[in-house]
Amino acid sequence: MDLLNTLVEKGLRRELPTREEALAVLATSDDDLLDVVAAAGKVRRHWFGRRVKLNYLVNLKSGLCPEDCSYCSQRLGSKAEILKYTWLKPDEASQAAAAGVAGGAKRVCLVASGRGPTDRDVDRVAQTIAAVKEQNEGVEVCACLGLLSDGQAERLRGAGADAYNHNLNTSEATYADITKTHTYADRVDTVQKAHAAGLSACSGLIAGMGERDEDLVDVVFSLRELDPDSVPVNFLIPFEGTPLAKEWNLTPQRCLRILAMARFVCPDIEVRIAGGREVHLRSMQPLALNIANSIFLGDYLTSEGQAGKDDLAMIADAGFEVEGTDQVTLPEHRVDAAAAADAAGCGSHGGGGCGPCGSAEPAAEAVDGAEAGTGADSNEARTDLVAVRRRGAGTDLAPNA
Active site members = 65, 69, 72, 109, 142, 202, 272
Question: Which element (helix H / strand E) includes 142?
Answer: strand 140-144
Q: Cα separation of 376 and 370, whole Å?
A: 8
| DSSP at 269 | S
Q: Cα separation of 43 and 13, whole Å?
A: 10
Q: Cα separation of 118 and 233, whole Å?
A: 28
Q: Cα separation of 400 and 353, whole Å?
A: 21
At 285, is the secondary structure helix, strand, or coil?
helix
- Taking residue 317's Cβ as centre, other Cβ atoms within 10 Å add up to 10
Q: Cα separation of 113 and 88, whole Å?
A: 12
For 90-114, b/e burial (b = at least 16 CB within 10 A) is bebbbbbbbbbbebbbbbbbbbbbb
CB of 66 closer than 8 Å to CB of 114: yes
Question: C-alpha 145: how far from its chain's center?
Answer: 14
Exposed / middle / buried, residue 391 (Cβ in 10 Å: 0-12, 13-18, 19+): middle
